[in-house]
Amino acid sequence: MSQFDLLFQPLNINKLTIRNRIVSTAHAEVYATDGGMTTDRYVKYYEEKAKGGCGLCICGGSSVVSIDSPQSWWSSVNLSTDRIIPHFQNLADAVHKHGGRIMIQISHMGRRSRWDGENWPNLMSPSGIREPVHRATCKTIEVEEIQRIIGDFAKAAVRAKEGGLDGVELSAVHQHMIDQFWSPRVNKRTDEWGGSFENRMRFGLEVLKAVREAVGPDFVVGMRITGDEFHPDGLSHEDMCQIAAYYDATGMVDYFGVVGSGCDTHNTLANVIPNMSYPPEPFLHLAAGIKEVVNVPVIHAQNIKDPNQAQRILAAGYVDFVGMTRAHIADPHLIAKIKMNQVDQIRQCVGANYCIDRQYMGLDVLCIQNAATSREYLGLPHIIEKTTGPVRNVVVVGGGPGGMEAARVAAERGHRVTLLEKGTELGGQITIAAKAPQRDQMAGITRWLAMELDRLGVTVSFGVNADAATVRDLRPDVCILATGGQPFIEQVPEWGAAEGLVVSSWDILTGAVAPGKNVLVYDSICEFTGMSVADYLAAKGALVELVTGDTKPGVGIGGTTFPTYYRSLYEKSVIMTSDLALEKVYREGESLVAVLENEYTGQKEERVVDQVVVENGTRPDESLYYALKMESVNRGQIDNETLFAMQPQPVLTAPQEGMILWRLGDCVSQRNTHAAILDALRLCKDL
C-alpha cells in the first residue's frame, strides 16, 4: 500500500476531515423515488461506497432546490420540501457508520431540462435562450423569480444540514442556472444581473451569501465549475480562473470541483464524461489551472480509473482530491482492495459509459460489468460468500462475459468449476468489439474476469466445441450454457447471405473477411457494432456509406457516446444515411448492387459497391441447449419470479438427482453484456 500513500492522507475541507483523497463526485443516479426522496436503493448504493473505503461521496447530481426546476426526468433528489430531511438522516447514518462523508450537489437547472412532465413548469434562463441538448424553450427569468430561487438555495442547504449531511455543493457547471448567468453566451441581460463581470457574477454570489448565512461558517459549502466551456462565445479557461478567484476571495467557498467542458450541445456533452475514446484525465490541466488561483482544496474527476493515476496526480500537486466516480460504480470496494494489496482484484472501469448513457435516456444508472451496483438493496452482493451447502460440480459452456461471470461467481461460492470455450481465447463478443477503433478498452472486462478465474482455480479448456456427450462426460451437477449466438444475416433471403453476397460485421472485425474499397454497411440495430464496423472500415481506407432504416445511425447509442462516433465518422468522410431499408443485393459483373427502399415513400435507390456488410444482430445458438434440455431435472427452465426477486431458484432446494440446466446471455436472445452478467450473478449467487 506504500506506493499509494498519498491516497490515504486525510485532508480537511473547512473543519470536516476526509479520511482519504478519493471522492465519488456528484452524478445523477436516477434512483430517487417517492417524489425525489433518497429511499432504500439510494441509501444502499452510497453505503456500499463508504463500506468500500471511499473518503467522500457527493451525491445527487443536479438535485433541485425549487419546484419549478423539474427533477422527474432524472429522478433526482428533491430538496424543495422538508420531506427530504428524514431520508437524508437515513443516508447520512448509513455512510457515517462506515467512516465516510456524504454531501449533496444542489442546483436550479434553469433552461437545462424539460418542461413537458411533472408540474409542466415554464423553464427559465437569464435571457430566454433555449438549450440545444434538451431542445426545451424557456422564458426570461424575472427579478422576483431570481430572489425566490436564491432563497430556495438557502432553504435546500438547511434541509441538507438538518438531515445530517456533511455539506452541499453548488452546481455552477454544465450550464445550470448559476453559470447560465456567468456566460455571455446565454446571459444577454442589460440590468444588474447581466453585462459586466460583476453583474454576471451577482446571482451566484447572492446564492452563496444566502446559503452561507443559512448554514453558518462551519458547514461545508463547495462549488462545482467548469474549467473551460469550449465554446468560442463561451467562458474560456482564463475566464473561469477569474471567476474561481473571484468567488474564492469571498472566503465563503470551501472547495472547488472542476471538470472540463460545457455540455449544452451534443458534442460538448461527450467531453464531460469522457468515454474510452479519450486519453486518461484529458482535462486535468484545467483543474490544475484553477488550483493555482484559489486557496481552498480542488477536486477533479474525469477519466481517472486506477490508483496509479490517482497517486501520480496527487504527487504532482495538480489537485487535492481525486474523483473516481465511474471507478466506484464499477467497483465500490476499490479503496479497500488497495489497502489489502489486492489492486489486481479491482474491477476497473473501462469507460463504456453504459452508466451515464442510461441516465441520458432517463434510465437508472447501471454498470456494464458489475450487476450488483445499485442493486445492493435487492440483495445482489459485491462480495460473494461461500456456500454452506454441498460443493457442486459446475460446468459452464461458453467463455463470453455471461459464461465467465457465471464461472467466477460459482467458484467464489466454493464449487468446482470447469469452463469450456470453443475458441482460443476468452471474451466472446467483447473480444470482437474491442478490435474496433474507440472500443479497445472493452477488453478490460475480459481481462478482469480472466484474472479472477485464474485466481479462483477455475479449469478453463480452450478449443472445446462442446456437444451433449462432452457435457455428460463431465457429470455436472449444474450446467450453465452461455454459448452466445451467430450473426443473423440470413433473415432476409434477398440479401444473398447464402450466396456470399453480404458479410457480417463480425467477419470484418475479426479479420475473417478483408475490407473492401467501396463498402455499404447496413445497420438495422443502430447500436455499437454497426457504427464500429463503419469506423473500422474507414480507418482501413475504405469509402463507406452507413445506411439504416431507423431515424439516424447509432440512434440506440447514448448521449455521451454517439458524438464521439460521429466525430470519427465525419472526419473519415463516412456517409451516414437514414430511413432506407436494405431490400436485396445482387451481383452485376464484378460489382454488387444494393437495393434500398425508403421507409416512408417506398421509393427505391441503388448503390453500386464492392462489399455489403450487414449488422442485423444475432440469433441464439440453441443446439446444445435442446440436446440437453429433456435430461435435465428442471427441463432447462428458470423460475422468473425468484430470478427477478433475486431469490434462489427453487430447483436448488428441491430434492432431486440429476443435472440442473440453465442458459443465459445471447444463447437465449440478444440483449447486451450487462444483461448476461446480471443473469449470471443472480442465478449463481445462491448455488
Summarize the confidence of residues 531-553 as an average pLDDT.
96
User: Which three cell numbers mark 465?
Assistant: 466445441
Average pLDDT over residues 635-651: 97
DSSP line for 358-392: HHTTT-----SS-TTTT-GGGT--SSPPPPSS---
The grid coordinates listed for 394 are: 459446475
Q: Determine the pLDDT at residue 572.
A: 96
**C-alpha distance from residue 438 to each of 359, 503, 523, 544, 563 (Å):** 21, 22, 18, 18, 12
Confidence of residue 273 (pLDDT cuts 50, 70, 90): confident
The pTM is what? 0.95
CA distances 566 to 22, 279, 561, 569, Å, are 33, 18, 9, 5
| pLDDT of 470 above 80 | yes
Angle (deg, nearest 10), helices 237-248 and 197-215? 40
**Residues 274 and 243: beta-carbon distance below 8 Å:** no
> Distance between CA atoms of 669 and 671, rounded to whole angstroms?
6
Average pLDDT, the chain: 94
Cell numbers 426522496: residue: 37
Residue 63 and residue 70: Cα distance in Å, rounded? 10
Report pLDDT for 128: 87
Question: 168: which strand partners?
Answer: 104, 221
**Whole-number Å distance between alpha carbons of 175 and 70:** 15
Average of pLDDT values for 117-125? 84
- Mean of pLDDT values over 387-413: 97
> In the prediction, which pLDDT does 263 show?
76
CA distances from 68 to 74, 151, 152, 170, 181 (A): 14, 14, 11, 17, 18
> Which residue's C-alpha cell is 445506411?
547
pLDDT attached to residue 131? 83
Residue 236 per-residue DSSP state? -
Hey, which residues does 416 pair with through a beta bridge? 393
Instruction: Give the mean model confidence (pLDDT) for residues 93-102.
Output: 98
Full set of structural domains in the chain with CATH: 2-378 (3.20.20.70), 393-486+620-684 (3.40.50.720), 489-616 (3.50.50.60)
What is the grid cell recorded at 178?
448559476
What type of residue is 20? N
